[in-house]
Amino acid sequence: MQNASQNELIHQLTTEQDILVKARIVDVLRTEYALKLPEIASYIHKHPSYVSHVHRLLRVPQLVVDGYYANQISATHLMVLSRLHTATEIEEAYEEVLTNNLTSIQTELVVRRMKYDVESDSKKISPDELKQTEVALQDKLQGKVRILQSQVRSKIVIEQRGPSSQTSTFIRNIVNKLKSEPATHEEKETLQVLD
């Protein structure tokens, strides 16, 4: 049950323009009223991840907060920078943003590089090709296949349901198929580089 003060804070959260004030309101709702992020999100009709991202802004060092209030960076820049784990990393990325006058999208690339030690490129496989590959693998492996690719990682999930006697055979069959497949030209080059 909500009380008047809590209702007032929730209303202020929906009308407040300053993203850092919103972060402090979320923190008060969490600490003083023991509300969980999904609960706060439901009150303001936002996704819980949005509330989590806003709350994370409390970790941003004062130097970067000052840059926001001096209109050197936007609220979007703040949200992106807050993804980094330490104040030192955030300040380092902030300096790069200012030095190079980076957009929020360019800032995301800096943060990705710092977090995952991965340079972004545009060589992702198209969604259509990923889907076709999933279907081809499902036919070949006789299991459910999901392929996921982001800017920093990719994952192939091969699933077969059934008792362990069936799934053990399924796993062994996949391993045998992978061992017996002739390497493609690209794979041969990769293997030579690795040797």
Q: Which domains does the chain have, with CATH numbers?
A: 4-116 (1.10.10.2830), 127-194 (no CATH)
Strand partners, 123: none
26-51 pLDDT, tens digit each:
999 999 999 999 999 999 999 999 99
Residue 184: the pLDDT is: 59
Residue 25: the pLDDT is: 97
The closest alpha carbon to 149, from 127, 120, 178, belongs to: 127
The closest alpha carbon to 149, from 133, 138, 135, 161, belongs to: 133
63-93 pLDDT, tens digit each:
999 999 999 999 999 999 999 999 999 999 9
Residue spans of the chain under pLDDT 50: 187, 189-195
Regarding pTM above 0.85, the answer is no
